[in-house]
Amino acid sequence: MKKFFILISSAAVLLVAAITILATVDFNRLGKDNAYVQITTEGSVEETKLDSGEILTRYWYTLPAYNEDGSIVEVEFSGAKELRQGAYLMLYLKNGNDVTSYDEVHLNDIPKKAKEKIEE
C-alpha cells in the first residue's frame, strides 16, 4: 500500500510539473537566434475567409534584419495586426531566417552592431 501511494504521488507531481512547463514555456522563443529590425514599411494585407464566414487578416512584412554581430538577414514574417511604423522588434529565428515570434523592444535594448546597421 505504501508503494502504491508513493507511485501515485510521484505521478501526480510529474503531471503538475508537466502542465506547468507547458503552460509557461514559449517554445517559439526557446533556444532561438535573435535578429533586430525596424518597421519601416506598411505590411501587405492577406485576408482568409474561414468556412464559418469569419475573415482572418494577417499583415506580412519583408524587411532586412540584423544579428547581434551586425550581419544582415532577410526575413519575412506576419502579424495579426498592423505593426506600428518605426517600432523596433527583436525577432526569434530558427533555421537562419524563419521567424517564429517577435517582441517590441526599445532602441537602447538592441546590441551595438545591430543598432548601428538599423540606424544607417
Number of domain units in the chain: 1
Residue range of the domain that includes 61:
33-119
Is 57 inside any structural domain? yes
Residue at 12 is within a domain: no
To the nearest whole number, what is the mean pLDDT of the chain? Answer: 87
Domain assignment of residue 20, yes or no: no
Q: Tell me whether residue 70 is in a domain.
A: yes
Q: What is the pTM of this model?
A: 0.76
Q: What is the pLDDT of residues 59-102, one digit of tens each?
A: 999 999 999 988 999 999 999 899 999 999 999 998 878 898 99
**The length of the chain, given as a count of residues:** 120
Q: Is residue 5 part of a domain?
A: no
Q: Under 8 Å CB-to-CB from 56, ≥6 apart: which residues?
A: 47, 48, 49, 50
Confidence of residue 26 (pLDDT cuts 50, 70, 90): low
Is residue 15 domain-resident? no
Q: At a CB cut-off of 8 Å and minimum separation 6, what does 79 contact?
A: 43, 58, 59, 61, 102
CATH number at residue 60: 2.40.50.480
